[in-house]
A and B are shown apart, each in its own frame.
Chain A
Amino acid sequence: MTDVQLGMPALPATPYPEEVHARLAADAAELISRYPQARSALLPLLHLVQAEEGFVSPTGIRFCAEQLDLTTAEVTAVATFYTMYRRRPAGKYHVGVCTNTLCAVLGGDQIFAELQQHLGVRNNETTEDGEISIEHIECNAACDYAPVVMVNWEFFDDQTPDSARQLVDDLRAGREVRPTRGARLCDFKETARILAGFPDERPGANDESGAGGAPSLAGLRLAKGEALPGTGGTRVVAPRHEGTGHEGTEA
């Protein structure tokens, strides 16, 4: 549920320092130029200010409004509609555990429960050292790799409670972790900048990890006559041009 904070009306947000404002304004101009109408750049601009501060602050909202000639109310209405825009700072590593039905049933619920206990934080909270924030997320289009955990929106597939605990421990200790699909992790702010529309410029990042894990290639392998794991160690399908004795097989 959304937090509703009652109280005195907020004062107008303070602007970014001049140097920051100038830098972001140049980025904003680049993003706006990619669309026939400026307002289309609002979602990218919100990612951009999130890249600056780690969340969408009143200052960031004011900045977006100024760039697009909107009111801060109009920008706030949009920013609060989309779940990826945070209203509180995220950790350096934002960990999302899928708890939609399929991942939940396959173990996502247990992973999320144990991670919260392990880190001592609850949903949408950040550890005291500012390293890890945690959130349960909806289906992330990786059901064939369930249960799925995302870190800064890179895929960590086929997780267990143990592997997820190890993952956050490694992150907090500064040890390098590799996504099963995706590039070396960058921090949450750097990730937000890619989301704003500025390509990842780290050399080789695009080529890291393969084209997909075993599930992505399962059908292709079968079609080529290879066996899939867990099918008794024997070929369950015929290699091309070999008879199998199965009914309906033609050489």
Chain B
Amino acid sequence: MTSAEPAEKLLTPVLSASWDDSRPWTLATYRRHQGYEGLKAALAMPPDDVIALVKDAGLRGRGGAGFPTGMKWQFIPQNDGKPHYLVVNADESEPGTCKDIPLLFANPHALIEGMIIASYAIRCDHAFIYLRGEVVPVLRRLHAAVAEAYQAGLLGRDILGSGANLDITVHAGAGAYICGEETALLDSLEGRRGQPRLRPPFPAIAGLYACPTVVNNVESIASVPPILARGKEWFKGLGTEKSPGFTLYSLSGHVTNPGQYEAPLGITLRQLLDMSGGVRSGHRLKFWTPGGSSTPMFTDEYLDVPLDYEGVAAAGSMLGTKALQVFDETTCVVRAVTRWTEFYAHESCGKCTPCREGTYWLVQLLKRIEAGEGVEGDLEKLLDIADNINGKSFCALGDGAASPIVSSLQYFRAEYEQHLAERRCPFDPAASTVWADGPRPGHQSATEREVHA
């Protein structure tokens, strides 16, 4: 692919294909877009064949870790006499990540169809959607879509005459980033504080209520029906060999047109910026995250990194949630990292010492550096504390907290030193706002037109 190729050749709307249709959140519209065709195909196959198909297609988890979805399903022991559960992780909270929420708002049936297929495959008759609580419009649409699916015989007893049963419970969380970690999510769903569990045993063996459980991200599950409907060869024809398929890239920050761009895995940020109007007018890219705040940041030298699991890892970061947060030269990197670190300190569940204590001290250090009150040795201390959190915490939240610190010091150490030397922050926060250079062209009016049409 070259960046000179037109967007229509680079983008592949699949999950987002129906979003501009009339009331795409309804069953009727979804059916016009091949909705529930994948389910029919799945129900005509033995469950093990469905697992094999998803595994062969090469679908990998879209929630950040990239674990093969079909393998997760295959790990569920069969004929073990225990109930099996499917739990969808819709606790989208990683800073910068904003793909599942628009997906569920526009097209909740894509998730429900995927859940029915996955439940059939792993022999589960009760599945859960764990939605973060702070998104009532999405909760409303999920409630309605699940009710609609029951009425149409797509949920409940003997689905489409297959003999398979499935109930779906929509569950709203209550504000805790840590519940995006799959074992913390399970504890939360059991009515406890959301704290991660020691693994092993993994959820596939002892998950919800100590029963075999698959926990999948929204986008992973929603990507399953098109694979069933169109075949694994079609899916593998998109993306790269080890990262096949399509995915939602979420562009945000100092760009002309933030938004959702669904493309084959392996597209680059340069291509996405070229087609969407680039960094906001008159400014240049300073740093960006490939997949949310927990993924080490990149600079403009990394614009041509293929945004797939291997490409981003080879460049020293992680694909994560494909949350491309773009910051231009007006942004103080110390301010950005301080704020992320405050987030991790706030969201640390308190279970393990490195994360609970470490994030607290990182915030103290960063705040005084940002305020121009840092002292010599602070940067070494930051790195030392980050090193004592990274890899030594109970779960990945701690690793995520270390990422922005280590990567920003790698690329922007001079800027930290400038804060120390000048004893002040050299940036004007007003210059970073969206209204600093006048209104973002066309953006507000486009939103208005869309919403109230």
Q: Which residues of A contact B (CB under 8 A)?
A: 34-37, 39-44, 46-47, 68, 77-78, 81-85, 96, 99-102, 104-107, 109-110, 137-147, 150, 152-155, 157-158, 160, 178-183, 191, 194-197, 199-200, 205-207, 209-225, 228-231, 236-238, 240, 244, 246-250
Contact = CB atoms under 8 A, between A and B. Distances in A.
A34 B170 CA distance: 9
B401 to A, nearest CB: 13
B12 A223 contact: yes
Interface stretch (B46-54, B221-229, B299-307, B439-447): B439-447
A158 B190 contact: no
A178 B4 CA distance: 41
A199 B260 CA distance: 28
B133 interface: yes
A216 B106 contact: yes
A39 B190 contact: yes
Contact of B4 (A42, A100, A107, A246): A246
Contacts, number: 342
Nearest to A37: B209
B422 interface: no
Contact of A84 (B94, B175, B256): B175
B192 to A, nearest CB: 6
Nearest to B453: A210
Contact of A37 (B190, B442, B450): B190
A42 B194 CA distance: 12
A206 B277 CA distance: 33
B105 A84 contact: no
B20 A220 contact: yes
A37 to B, nearest CB: 6
A102 B96 contact: yes
A106 B432 contact: yes
Contact of A231 (B147, B257, B258): B257
Residue of B5, B137, B249, B452 with most chain A CB atoms under a 10 A cut-off: B137
Contacts of A211: 19-20, 23-25, 105-107
B126 interface: yes
Contact of A107 (B175, B335, B433, B441): B433
Given A36-B209, A81-B194, A181 B16 contact: no
B171 A218 contact: no
Contact of A110 (B256, B263, B433): B433
A105 B335 contact: yes
Contacts of B126: 36
Contact of B137 (A104, A179, A197, A238): A179
B260 A216 contact: yes
B177 to A, nearest CB: 7
A76 to B, nearest CB: 11
6 contacts: A82-B174, A138-B95, A144-B250, A146-B253, A158-B440, A211-B106
B139 to A, nearest CB: 6
B193 A78 contact: yes
Contact of A139 (B19, B96, B257): B96
Contact of A209 (B137, B170, B257): B137
B288 to A, nearest CB: 11
B16 A219 contact: yes
B323 interface: yes
Nearest to B262: A219
Given A142-B101, A181-B451, A238 B281 contact: no
A138 B446 contact: no
A81 B265 CA distance: 37
B251 A223 contact: no
B2 interface: yes
B331 A42 contact: no
Contacts of B346: 138
Contacts of A231: 256-257, 276-277
B137 to A, nearest CB: 4
B251 A144 contact: yes
Contact of A158 (B25, B447, B453): B447
Interface in B395-453: 429-430, 432-435, 440-453
Contacts of B451: 180-181, 209-210, 213
A228 B6 CA distance: 13
Interface string B182-211: 000000111111100000000000000100
A221 to B, nearest CB: 7
A205 B349 CA distance: 36
B134 interface: yes
Contact of B435 (A68, A160, A200, A224): A160
Contacts of B327: 105
Contact of A146 (B258, B260, B331): B258
Given A78-B192, A102-B325, A181-B451, A141 B429 contact: no
Q: Which of B263, B275, B335 has the most CB of A within 10 A?
A: B275
B434 A106 contact: yes
Contacts of B11: 219, 222-223
A183 B140 contact: yes
